[in-house]
Every structure is written in C-alpha cells, then in structure tokens.
Structure 1
Amino acid sequence: MPDSALSIAFNPAGIELDPKKGLSRQLYQALRLRVLDGRLSSGSRLPATRDLAVALGISRNSVVRAYDQLYAEGFIEGRIGNGTYVAHLPEKTVPAKKLTTNLSTGFSTGLSPALSTKLVDLPVITSSKVIHSTALSRVSKHALDLPPSGVPRAFRVGVPAFDLFPFPVWSKLQAAFWRKPDLEQLCYGNPAGDQRLRELIAAYLRTSRGLACSAEQILITSGAQQGISLCAQLLVEPGEGVAVENPGYRAAAHAFSIAGAHVQGVEVDEQGMKCAALAHLNNCRLAYVTPSHQYPTGVTMSLARRLELLEWAERNQGWIIEDDYDGEYRYSGAPLAPLAALDRQGRVIYVGTFGKIAFPALRLGYLVLPEGLVESFARRRSLDMRHSEVSTQVVMAEFMAAGHFQRHIRRMRRAALSRRNTLLAHWPQGLEGVGPMPSVVAGLHVAVPVVSHEREQVLLARAKEANVEIVGLSRYWLEDTVKPVDNRAGLVLGFAAVPEAEIKAALDLLGRVWR
C-alpha cells in the first residue's frame, strides 16, 4: 500500500505554526499533545517527514528535528522499512477532556490533569489528598511564616545594621577568590566546612568569647537554624521530651517538633529559664536556651541558673543547646562568656551565626560540638547538603584573617548602641496600657510589656496601618499556651535595622497613632 494511503489516519489540519518561533519545537509540542490526549492512539502511523513538511509548508529538517525529539522521549517508534508509528503507551485511566488547543504553542487548555503539559494545569496536592505521613503532618503543623518582605523598616526584629556592612571590601575579596581560584577548593569539600574558616572561628571564640575550643569541634552550617535542626535530628528520639524557653524562639521549637519530640515549654523570669522545672518534665534530656540574651524577653540567664542547668545535664546525661544568636552585642563591658565556657562534661552544643554581624542572607553559621559528636553531625549534614558553598567560606576566612571582622563587630556594636539610645530617648511616654521601656543592656531588640492581649492587638493593628513593623510578644508562646493571658502581652521591637533618623520618624508616628 502506498505511503499516502497509510497516512490518511493522520490529519495535520489545525496545526498552525508561527514562523517567528521555533518551528520544530512547535511541531514537536503539537504532535506530543495529540499523543497525550488520545487523538493519535498507540500504533497510529505518522506521515513521512517529507510528506508532512510539504503539508505544513515547512522544511523537512524542522520535521526531522521534531520527530527526533519524540523518538528520544519515547512517544514514537520506527519500524524498519515500514515507517514511523506512535509508541504503545499505557491506557489512560482518566478520560481525556474535550480540548481547546492553541497549536501555535502546542499547549492544551483542557488536557486531563494526569497528562497535562501545562504548568497551571498540574494537579494541586492538598492536605486531604496527601498520603498519610507522620512527617508531612508535622511539617504542616510546624511550618514557619514567610519573613517580612522588602527592605528593613523600623522596627523589624532579627535584622542587624547591615546597611553598614563593608560591601566594597567583601566584593574585592570575592573577586580575588574567583579571579584565580584554588582548583582543589572547587571540588567536593569537607561537610564539616572549610578548615581555615573553622580555625579562625575557633581562635575568635577563644580570644573574644572565652570559649576554649578547637577547629576540629567546629561544624559550618547554613545559618543557625540548620545547626538547631541537626541537633533535633541527631539528639532526639521520637516521643522524647525537649525543654524550650516559653516564650521563646518558635523556629527552634518547630525543628524539635518535626523531629518527633514532645516540646515542653519552661517559663522564663528575670533570671532566664526556670531550670528547677526541668526535674518535673517527662522523659526530657535536652534543653534549648538563649542564655546571653533571651529571645524574645531580653533577660540574661543568671550564673546560678547556668550552673543549675549544667548540673541537670550532667546528672541526666542530657544535652544543652545554647543559641548565642546576638551575643556580640553587649553595651556595658565585654560580651558575656557563653554557657559553653562553663561546661566541663561536654554537654553543651554552642550555636553561632554570622547573620547578626553581617546580614541574614549570608546563611553562614556554625556549631561548636563536643568532640565525640563532630563526625556524626558532619555525616548527617552531608546527606542534606554535601557541603557549604565554598566561596562564602573562603571569603569569610580572609575577611577574618585580615582583621575586617573584628573591626566590623566594633562598628556594628557602636551603631546598635546609637540606635538603641535613639529608641530609648524618643520612645513615646504615657501610652495607655503600655508599661515602661525596660533597660536594654544587650542584643538587637527589646520587649515592652503591655497591659492586656486586647490592647496589644490594637497597638499592633495601628502600627501596621502606619507601615511600622512590630511583633506582639504573645506570638512567641507555644501554641498550647497562646491563650490571650494578659501577662503574655507586649511589643517586641528590633532597633538595629534602620538608621537613627528613621527610628525617630517611626516613633513620632507611633506616638500619634497610639494615642
């Protein structure tokens, strides 16, 4: 039988190709669509490339390229001496919908969701459709909110004065690295991190923070949150208790919850976490704390509480995770020695970050681990990400070695102090339901008490209308204790994100809208 007779089953009518776009790609998409929606069934014969080219008024090469792509993806197959046919594909279990096709692009607007080639037609997986999975359920219950968008405004929490970061210096160091990179550093690296950077971090902690440690105890992470997550993955068994400060850093509580831990909040007072309560928690061998500057209340854990916490960990063979997220910022005297500096039994894991000294998007942090944990943590981290991005580590190492890091810390401390003083000097007085501004001796934020949850919400709503960012203290409590109890209300203000003039302008505005 002649080819023309065999080709009658294929009708090219309706295939319209835009000569201004790639012809072979358009034809490939149109033919692929016809196979998927069933208009070209398994075993259907396709025209010879020359015949189809004539029918569509395009070059044979365009048809050949379209066929080659369909061959490569398994949509069509050739039979020696007998032409080209649609491959035998699995039968559709979902009937094809009636199609409205734009053949200039080759996409369908009515293709069965199971076979759609269009992104917007892909099936949406909702919680009711997802396979029952404990891990997926935990993620849905303990996900973080998206961070605030846009450039920092008064009074965004957790953001340092990165408008003062020496970007020209950093860019020169970055350019120097890429101008003539060490080829060895471009291969797969140690999951524990760049050796030189680890050595410099250890030296910095020894001299500036009083924490005796070696480079072999340092594990580089993608920010503090990854370090906390690694601790949750490796130190907690499902069902075990984990003690966290309440109110506290919710992202840490989420990490432990996702790992299957039973997160238990421990009240915080003017001396920090009430460590005596740990003895009454069920099956608890891990505590997460922010002793140098409690998040979010801002209190400093007393020496007596620190020693009590260490004694609890030693007695129970437990672990303490110390998050020293902004310990460099102390406004009278030198920064406090970390809790880890008092540890003599290897029970404290120290979490550090460059995000509060440089900028959050740097995503560079580290853990100081007891020697027996380093290898396990490095191996576990390598399964999530083989190792940290190399140039950031190398540039930060050079930044530290050349003295830029220490100079920048001093500059950031002075800037934060000046911005803190502006906040204290211009804070509106006599506000209804708002307690006195507490003293701020450390950190990058302050928590101001408010008389009731209802009043807190009113103040937050008015601040939002005025385009001022403030977080309510009530949101930092664990979910099972988030009831609108009056002593849980307050305003948490970060004071380092913007210059003094913007702080004063925002405070003047709040003084008007809050009255």
Structure 2
Amino acid sequence: MTVTTAALPFDPAGIQLNAKLGLSRGLYENLRARILDGRLGRGTRMPASRDLARALGVSRNTVTRAYDQLYAEGYLASRVGDGTYVAVLEGVTEKLSTKLSTGLSLGLPTGLSTKWGENTGCVSSEVIHTEACKRLAEHHLPPFRSGPPRAFRVGIPAFDLFPFATWAKLYGDFWRNPAPELLGYGDPAGDPELRSLIAAYLRSSRGLNCSAEQILITTGAQEAISLCAQLLVNPEDRVAVENPGYRAAGHAFINAGAKLKGVPVDGEGLVCSALDEGEPSRMVYVTPAHQYPTGVTLSLARRLALLDWAERHQGWVVEDDYDGEYRYSGAPLAPLAALDRSGRVLYVGTFGKVAFPGLRLGYLVVPAGLVEAFSRKRAVALRHSEIGIQRVMARFIAEGHFQRHIRRMRRAALARRDVLLGNWPADTPGVGPLPPVAAGLHFTVAVDSVAREERLVAAAEAAGVELNGLSHYWLPESAEPVDNRAGLVLGFAAVAPAATLAALDRLRQAWKD
C-alpha cells in the first residue's frame, strides 16, 4: 500500500539562471536538483510554462525546453486536463535523497582516496574495497611535469628537431584516402606493416633477430611493462628490480600482485649475484643500455650472468631498452634479447625517446611461445590499436626519415651533453665530480647527503631549473644508508644549447646565494 503525503506548492524563490550556461539548461538543472533532494516532493503541481516564465523573467520557450527535458527523463508527468506534476517514482527519489544527504556523488566515481579508508566525497571506501584498489592507492604514478620542456628535464628528447612538416604530410596523405580495410577492427598486436618494419630495424641496427609476429605495438613502454606483469607474474611472486631504478615499472608489478626485491646497481649495472640471495624471483626488470637513473651500462659479464640466471631458474627478464638509440662512441650495444638462447627475455622499446612521448607509440618483442597469449591479453584490454599513427610511422620508417632523424638526434644530444658538462658549476659544495657520459639522455652526479640534495633541488626550482633528486628513485625499504642515496639526476637533451647555458647561469647564482 502506497502512502501519499501532501505536496507543498511550487515556490520559484532561489532559482538563479546564468545566461552563459544556457537559460533552459540552467532551469532544467535547478528543477532536477530540487526534485532529487526533495524540495519538490512527488506530486507537486508545477506552474504553467507561461506563469513560470513570467516569474523568472525569461521566455516561455526557455521554460518549455526545460520541462520537455524533465518529461523525457521521467522527472515530470502530465495529468490530462490538470497540468504538470512531479512524477511519482516509487522509492527512487527517496534513495537519491538519502545519497545526497550522506554526501555521495550521484555521478560516477572520479577518484580514489590516497589514504585508504578516507572518503573523498566521490566514492566510499566500501565501494572500492578490493585488493587491487588497495595496491593502487599506494603504488600509482605521480603527475608528469607540465608545460614546455625546461632544463634539465629527464626523459625528454629534442622536440625542436622533429621533422613535423614531413610527419604532417605523411599523416595527411594517409587520411586523404585510407584503405577501407584499415578502418574496421584490426589486429590486436598492431599494424602488420609497422611490425614488419620494426623487426627489420631491430635486426639491422640492434642485432636482434626477431620476426614481425613476435612484435606487439603498444601505447608506450609502460603498457608493455604492464602486459609482462599481468601475464607472467602470479600473486605473491617476487620481481627483482634495479635499486635505485624506474619506480613506474615497480608500480606495474606490485599492481599485478607481485612483491619487489630491490637489487643493487654498481658501476657495471645490476649486481646479478644478488639475485640468488634470499627468496627466489620469478622475473627481473632491467635497463641495460643506460640504467635509469644512474646512467651506467650493464657490462657483458653481467649480461651473460643475467641470462644464465634466467635459464637456471626458468625466470623471465624484462629488458627495457631505455635510451638504447643514444650511444656516443661506437654503435649501440646489442640488447640482452639478441644474446638470449632460451627464450626468456622480453624486449621493451619505444619511439618516445626518438620522436616525442606524446606520440604514444612503443613495442614489445616477446619469445615466439608467448605471441598468442600476449595478443589475446591485449585484445581483452584494448581490442586493437589506433591505425593512423601506426601507418604513418610505417611510412616514416620505410621512406628513410626515421633513420635520418635518429642520426640527427644523436648528434644533437651529444652537442647538448657537451655544453652541460663543459659549463657545469663544478665547485658547488657537497656535489661530487661529473661522471663519464657515454650513452643516454641524462646522467647522475653524487651529493653528500639527502638534506643537501633537497636544498639544491629547491633552490634550482626557485630559479626555474628542473632537477630530480636521486633519493626518490630508491625503494622505501632499501638497506642502503640514507645519505648514500643522494644525488642529482639531470637530462641534457630537452632544450637547445643557448637555453642550457642560461639555465646554468641561473643555477650557479641560485646555489651561490
């Protein structure tokens, strides 16, 4: 039995409309809010459109459009010969009113609490109380630096040298008359033409003998790392990571349910002997070409030791070829995957360090036995990739633009490195000597304490110069003494030499004050 209550007469007091937002839209939202929070109870008779228009000082059409939308969404109902009333929706307005009174959003959740159990006002802890959300609350990526590149931003190549005119022509050529078969659902592993060209490039430039079928196109290195974590790691498995290292990779493994094992890095790269200490690991993540963030290169002896570990333990090695295209003496080193004879290495590559990160284009080379599983996993997550960027990159490579651009970027990065090294304020108290820089787009210089590191970074930031503190790259539970973790991480490719010199002048003054 339904119990009805007497409805209060409609009162237009308090309705305020903003012409910039649209009068009819504003009126609709005002009336809907009053219905949802109970100020307009069910069964309330609404004034005639002419009367309400007169009371609010708007046109009748404004009121009619607002009423029409409320009718369409079920908030209002008409009675033949008796006008318009707030609809009687059994139980609905009461539930919505209860939600409003408890402070919950009526829309979709827009964020997770950074402190578990804290109600952000967007979603309750009960709604997101899963192990996955708990892990994500503690292990997520921080926001990226915004704005145009500044000295000495890490991880950014020379945007100013990219041949945008050539890229725009190739992009326009593709979209002026795309083949119909490319406009439907494609291969989840990516465009076959681009995969074939990447395979040819890796064979010729890196000595990595792989087929197009072994390559998956990704939206960057992070997606490739996440795919490896989701498919090859079981909950509670241990994954060994470089320490200090690329924390975003660690977050991907933890969010897949793994536990991290920090492995020290020295002058030869990852200390492979530490892999056999303590609980065994199922996987190792490594940046052998140019370790992130220390900048060292994994020695040949360590490379062979790591491959031997993978074969003995039937473990996996995720090789992130970070900055692999940038080597300033001799050819780029052959990757681990090129030395792998047991099918245990997964190779992660990206176009972001040669072109620009906003391109969102990378790739993953997997052992032949894993091709089908990785393709299926990517199909479940994304179904397939955007085709335009992939086809344009395929043309960019096939016509020789990519190879010419890499050579130009190497020359420019070398020149920008030399400007920074040659003008660095070497007499800064508490800052160690500059290291040799034979590869990559950044280097790390030691600092005598974390407190000193923080002061130097803060002073640089105040002067408009970006520096990263090395202490932030360490795992929280590291055994290394705190002050031994201090340092400065500097990228040198993001800006032209003149901007580098200007930044060094500001830095020198800031550190002197």
Q: Same fold (TM over 0.5)?
A: yes
The corresponding residue for 2:67 is 67
Instruction: Report the alpha carbon displacement of residue 96 of structure 1 after superposing the two structures with TM.
Output: 8.5
Retained in 2: the 8 A contact 1:7–1:46?
no
- Write out per-residue CA displacement over residues 421-444 of structure 1, whole angstroms, 9 at most, x where no aligned residue: 112222223332222211111111
2:445 to 443, 448, 453: 448
Could you tell me which residue of structure 2 aligns to residue 292 of structure 1?
289
Question: Quick check: 138-147 or 56-65, which moved more?
Answer: 56-65
Change (3 A) 1:502 1:124: closer
Match of 1:201 among 189, 194, 198: 198
The one-letter code sitting in structure 1 at the alignment partner of 2:74 is G
- Report the 3-state secondary structure (helix = DSSP H, G, I; strand = E; otherwise coil) of the residue aligned with 1:232: helix
Letter in 2 for 1:33: A
Which of 229, 235, 239 aligns to 1:238? It is 235
Contact 1:243–1:287 under 8 Å retained in 2: yes
Gapped runs of 5+ residues in structure 2?
Answer: 1-5, 120-124
Name the SS for the 2:94 alignment partner. Answer: coil
CA-to-partner distance for each residue in 1:399-447, whole Å, 9 max, x for gaps?
A: 1111000000000000011111112222223332222211111111111
Q: Is the 8 A contact 1:241 1:281 kept in 2?
A: no
2:350 maps to 353
**8 Å Cα contact 2:7/2:43 also seen in 1:** no
Deviations 1:448-498 (A, max 9, x none): 122232332232222222221111221111111287633322211111111
Q: Structure 2 residue aligned with 1:170, among 167, 185, 192? A: 167
1:106 counterpart residue number: none
Greater displacement, 16-25 / 195-204: 16-25
Cα distance 1:123–1:64, how it changes in 2: closer, same or farther (>3 A)?
farther
**2:408 counterpart residue number:** 411
Match of 1:507 among 483, 491, 504: 504
Q: Percent sequence identity over matched residues?
A: 64
Matched, 1:77 2:77: yes
Aligned residue for 2:242, secondary structure, equals strand
| 2:329 is equivalent to residue 332 of structure 1 | yes
Cα offsets for 1:65-100 (capped at 9, x unmatched): 333211221212345566543222325368799xxx
Counterpart of 1:321?
Answer: 318
Question: Aligned-pair distance for 1:156?
Answer: 0.9
> Aligned in 2, Cα 1:479/1:19: closer, same or farther, shift over 3 Å?
closer
Amino acid at match of 1:72: A
Q: How big is the shift at 1:510? A: 2.9
Q: Pick closer, same or farther for the CA change 1:505–1:396 going to 2, 3 Å.
A: same
For the residue of structure 2 that corresponds to 1:32, the secondary structure is helix
> Contact 2:243/2:473 (CA < 8 Å) preserved in 1?
yes
- Give the match's secondary structure for 1:411: helix
Q: Do 1:222 and 1:363's aligned partners in 2 also have CA atoms closer than 8 Å?
A: yes
- One-letter identity of the residue aligned with 2:206: R
Match of 1:270?
267
Find the partner of 2:430 among 401, 408, 433: 433
CA distance in 1, matches of 2:398, 2:490: 34
The answer for the alignment partner of 1:25 in structure 2 is 25
Contact 1:43 1:86 in 2 (8 A): yes
Cα distance in 1 between the residues matched to 2:300 and 2:147: 40
RMSD: 3.0
Which one-letter code corresponds to 1:134 in the other structure?
E
CA distance in 2, matches of 1:160, 1:198: 23
| Structure 1 unaligned regions, length at least 5 | 1-5, 98-110
Gap change, CA 1:88 and 1:499, over 3 Å in 2: same
Secondary structure at the aligned position of 1:432 is classed as: coil
- Match 1:389 to one of 362, 383, 386: 386
How big is the shift at 1:364? 0.7
1:480 match: secondary structure: coil
| CA positional deviation for 1:18 | 7.2
Report the TM-score, using the length of structure 1 for normalisation.
Answer: 0.88
Shift of 1:208: 0.7
Paired residues of 1:245 and 1:268 also in contact (CA < 8 A): yes
Contact preservation (8 Å) 1:153, 1:469: yes
The residue number in structure 1 matching 2:154 is 157
Contact 1:434 1:449 in 2 (8 A): yes
Residue by residue, what CA displacement relative to the aligned partner does 1:229-285 show, whole Å, maximum 9, x if unpaired? 111111111111000011111111111111111101001111111111111241411
State the AA in 2 paired with 1:76.
L
- Tell me how far 1:513 sits from its aligned partner: 3.4
Amino acid aligned to 2:94: K
1:92 to 74, 94, 100: 94
Cα contact 2:8–2:41 (8 A) shared by 1: no
Name the CA distance, whole Å, in 2 between partners of 1:17 and 1:420: 58
Change (3 A) 1:116 1:422: closer
1:366 aligned to 2:368? no
Alignment correspondent of 2:178: 181
